[in-house]
Structures are given as C-alpha cells and as structure tokens.
Structure 1
C-alpha cells in the first residue's frame, strides 16, 4: 500500500482542518454565535489566509529539503518534492482546497437564491423543512425537525400544515423528502396555521426554516 503522504505532507490537511475549526470558534466567540456561517466575506477571508499559510509552509519546506536525484541509466537529474500529500506538494493544496471551497460556496449561493425566490413566491404544495422548536411553544427540544406544507396562498398570507412526524436530526427530514413520503397529504396534521411571506423570510434568515422543496 502506497503512503498517502511523504515527509511532512500530512501538514496540509491538518492545517486546513485545524485552522477552519479554530477560526470559526474564534470568530463566533468574539462576534456572536453563527457569525462565521452568516457572513460570507469572513469565510472567504479565512480560506484565503489559511491557503497563504499552507503555501508559505509548503514552499519553504520543499525548497529547503529537496535533493537532486540522478537516474542511473539516463543520467537525468530530477528534484522531486520532499513533502507531499496524495502525491502532490503541500503548496499545491493551497490552490486546490480554495478552489473546492469556492465551488462549494457558489453552489450554496445558488441554492440560497433559489430558496429565497421560492419563499418570495410561495405555491400550494411547497414543502418547508423547519425547526419546530423555534416556531411552536412547548415543542420537543430533541425531536424538533420536520416539514410544513403550503395549503393555499392568499395575498401575502400563507396557510400551512405541519407534519405529524418529527426527527432529532435533519437527515430524517431529507430522507422523507427524497422518498416522497413528505409529499403525501396523510403525512400532515389537519390543523392549519397562517404565516406571512415576511415571517417565512425571517424564519429562513434565522435558520428556523432551512430548506424548500418544490416539485
């Protein structure tokens, strides 16, 4: 089995993972809970700073520790990197990781834009993934994740039904949506509640409503 790193190549993932976790904890500790997640510029600045750090460390180590090698038959000289991760020099990961991060960030921004558009123009049978404990009083603080389905839309008022199922994690909600269970009318209680579009947008902003499903 080939090693996945050479020399100090393991530093690349360790620095990225440790830095992202520590930066998020530090920022949220100073600026308030979820400040890191809710402010895109903070995430972009953080990934750029960490990437520069990894690039500097990688270049310094590989310039310092590279040695010339001469092929016994051809006499060709090579100077391979002394510190690699997955066969790539540490400094190369300073480019790859930000690119992956930016691609993921772009996808998330596109999804957020689509979600906002759905909330601003609700339709019957739209399904919202929500945290019930932030909407209803005396809700179970553990089994709190479920869905709400749009029944009708009148002017800026939306009538909704809540699911009779709730989960202790968002995975259960996603599973029911994927399998189509959450689209069945029998999945919901008969009681109807009313919210304005402004309220729905507010719930999305504070994380109470975290996804919209529309067929």
Structure 2
C-alpha cells in the first residue's frame, strides 16, 4: 500500500522514469544488459532523480496558501496543500533518494 498526499506520488514516478531512462541510455551506448551489471548506473539515476524530486518539492511548496477567517472566533487560518509520500514531505524524499544512491554505490561490489 502506498500512501501519498497531493503530488507526493511524484517521488516514485520520477525515480522510476530516471531509472528507465538511464537503463535505455546505458544499454544503447554500452550494449544490452550493461545497466544491470554496472556498479554506477543505478546510483547515478537515483542521484539525478533526487535532485529533480527535491526541486519539484520545493517548487510545489512555494505556492501561497489561502487565508481563511473563522467567523465565530475571528481567527485566521492558512490553508495550504501538502505533498507527501508516507507522511514525509516531497522535498525530503529528494534527500532520502540521494542518501540511498550514495549507499548503493558504496555497498555494491
């Protein structure tokens, strides 16, 4: 089960699109099956995806909220849409993906 709010699902979509694009590029340039056998291709794809995820999350969070005034208490509330995946804001998924990419590169044989 995947839980997201707003455009939080983009974290997964961007990571998959970058991975597929890197696989197509590597297999076209270096030959079939190179993407799966290489040590650097998948971490690089995730590192590129992490930058895109972070900046998309930042851009979505810059949108101003709507100010609503409660008629009974006369208090102001700001209604702003949030974009998260598994309750983690989208921009932080960029950092998580970058850490995962570095970990994959350093741990892989």
**Counterpart residue number, 2:94:** 94
Q: Which has the higher helix share?
A: 2
Q: Per-residue displacement from partner, 1:84-132 (whole Å, max 9, x unpaired)? A: 11111111111112212332333322xxxxxxxxxxxxxxxxxxxxxxx
Q: Which has the higher strand share?
A: 1
Q: Per-residue displacement from partner, 1:36-91 (whole Å, max 9, x unpaired)? A: 34443444432222111111111101112555689xx9x79778761111111111
Query: How many residue pairs align between the two structures?
Result: 105
Q: Per-residue displacement from partner, 1:182-202 (whole Å, max 9, x unpaired)? A: xxxxxxxxxxxxxxxxxxxxx
**Counterpart residue number, 2:16:** 17
User: Per chain length, whose mean CA-contact separation is higher, i.e. which structure has more relative contact order (CA < 8 Å, sep 6+)?
Assistant: 2
C-alpha RMSD over aligned residues: 3.1
**Aligned mates of 1:29, 1:68 — CA distance in 2:** 52
Distance 1:101 1:76, change over 3 A: farther
Is the contact between residue 9 and residue 89 of structure 1 (CA under 8 Å) also seen in structure 2? yes
Runs of 5+ consecutive residues of structure 1 not aligned to the other structure: 110-215
**Aligned mates of 1:11, 1:45 — CA distance in 2:** 18
Structure number with bigger Rg: 1
TM-score of the two chains, using structure 2 as the length reference: 0.71
Runs of 5+ consecutive residues of structure 2 not aligned to the other structure: none
